[in-house]
Structure 1
């Protein structure tokens, strides 16, 4: 296929928008957890995987639409995040500021252990085989672009959720408190922000967004107990490009990553998808370690 035809393809642009919106939703939770607590949640993609299984079983066993089950699954994810914060991770945050580096390292080890537990538990309970189901797979055409109903739904839900959270962070008191903890944790504590409440709220919202992304992903592609790690990498790429706490910049970065992956696969091979993803990760670390908007924000 000629390069010009690939670059001008509306079909690929739509696919890139869908992929980017899911990456933005995944990165949203990582952004909040790492931004407010400096915890490296390498198990975040496994929460996406669990959300995918929840949507799958709700549809396969109970016949419940994934779009109807999505809010319930997101709520369960929020409860899981709240329980893990109160029962386990809150203790890490009691470490003295001088040991913040050790706290980061300990959180990485804990989340890595949680990731291994979740993957192997899912493999034991659900088998390691790929799962998939058909839902809203009728084709809609706009010009030369063929769009399935499930991809349209995923794009709308993921995009609306990210925009809603961005408005929440920018317009509400609770959202502004989260942003203050992300930007200046000590200053936020001094002026009376309830840092503990912000932290468990960020945990709950982060887990909920990952579970929601999993339900949406389950409508589009196959998944297995080991499908979560690429989503974790994608989330970190988005955070690096967009910067901590900047949800709208993260949305733009996620769409850019979706474009790079979709068009890159179309121009090369589907077997190079992981190479493109990890290549973007390395490139983002080297070129934009502080985010695309870091220079602009320092001038302010």
Structure 2
């Protein structure tokens, strides 16, 4: 039934949107592509799972602690690996290429570290919510309803942070003109570090929600990274509304393609969308040509 598949697509798209938000925030503020983002997402899920299994915390208590741990890890990685490469300039081609290579290296370091610490066996995160909700002929589990609710809460919190706080105004100033922002006394490095912290927290939420619906394992970060990359290109690099719209649309496309064509080919439509956007509107739906 079409309505059922649309709801399933919105659930999946909500997680994709959360995955893409952290990715696009980093690009929007620092003009950097962080290829280790998928592994940060994976580690965030493992942090939440470990807090639940080791300390016996319920999901909704372990998740904020996992977000804090992932945010801290993201900031540490920024200062140890990315900041030294961009000390002279965030906009030089050499600096951008070095960051890409370093984050690609981090991707494998973090993934292999996860294999060593947690092993390769997939594990599921139990949210602790059961039951279903009937919306006419549409069946929606309470757990999937919570996924949509969490996405809405995260998006609202991000909007309030960006447009209703001083740090949000400073972040937007850095994104628009880093040199001009520095001229009026804004500390670009501290603001970028804050962006990495927010990005890490969002990645933890996305990874943990994926763990409740599917499973947590060290190789889980690859697919969300690719999907996030497609989403931010589709929506517009650095565009928060574009990441949300792109994530929801991609979730719908994959779900409908899997239901009515074949799950074996659903990823083909993802990359056909990427190719079409690059050919027809390279700046993305919400992006601006620079």
Length-normalised TM-score, structure 2: 0.91
Answer yes or no: is 1:241 the counterpart of 2:234.
Answer: yes
- Per the alignment, residue 5 of structure 2 pairs with 12
Which of residues 128, 137, 141 in structure 2 aligns to 1:144?
Answer: 137
Contact 1:66 1:215 in 2 (8 A): no
1:213-268: per-residue Cα shift (whole Å, max 9, x none)? 11111111123211111111111222112224431232112111111111111122
Which of residues 78, 83, 87 in structure 2 aligns to 1:90?
Answer: 83
- Per the alignment, residue 70 of structure 1 pairs with 63
User: Matches of 1:273 and 1:120 in 2, distance apart?
Assistant: 28
How many angstroms does 1:199 deviate by?
0.8
1:184-215: per-residue Cα shift (whole Å, max 9, x none)? 22222223322122111111111111012111
Q: Any stretches of 5+ residues in structure 1 without a counterpart?
A: none
Contact 2:123 2:217 in 1 (8 A): yes
- Per the alignment, residue 105 of structure 2 pairs with 113
- Per the alignment, residue 193 of structure 2 pairs with 200
Contact 1:243 1:250 in 2 (8 A): yes
- Per the alignment, residue 158 of structure 2 pairs with 165
User: Matches of 1:78 and 1:172 in 2, distance apart?
Assistant: 19
Contact 2:25 2:195 in 1 (8 A): yes
Task: Please list, as runs of the form range in 1=range in 2, the aligned pairs for 1:205-224 lying within 5 A after superposition.
Answer: 205-224=198-217
Contact 2:170 2:186 in 1 (8 A): yes
Secondary structure at the counterpart of residue 140 of structure 2: strand
Which of residues 122, 130, 138 in structure 2 aligns to 1:130?
Answer: 122
How many angstroms does 1:290 deviate by?
0.9
How many angstroms does 1:106 deviate by?
0.8
User: Matches of 2:123 and 2:232 in 1, distance apart?
Assistant: 29
Q: Any stretches of 5+ residues in structure 2 without a counterpart?
A: none
User: Matches of 1:236 and 1:91 in 2, distance apart?
Assistant: 25
User: Matches of 2:192 and 2:89 in 1, distance apart?
Assistant: 16
Superposition RMSD in Å: 2.1
Contact 1:24 1:162 in 2 (8 A): no
Which of residues 279, 282, 285 in structure 1 aligns to 2:275?
Answer: 282
1:127-149: per-residue Cα shift (whole Å, max 9, x none)? 22322244324222222111112
- Per the alignment, residue 182 of structure 1 pairs with 175
User: Matches of 1:202 and 1:134 in 2, distance apart?
Assistant: 29
How many angstroms does 1:94 deviate by?
1.1
Length-normalised TM-score, structure 1: 0.89
How many residues get paired?
Answer: 289
Contact 1:24 1:251 in 2 (8 A): yes
Answer yes or no: is 1:104 the counterpart of 2:116.
Answer: no
- Per the alignment, residue 256 of structure 1 pairs with 249
1:142-162: per-residue Cα shift (whole Å, max 9, x none)? 221111122111111122102
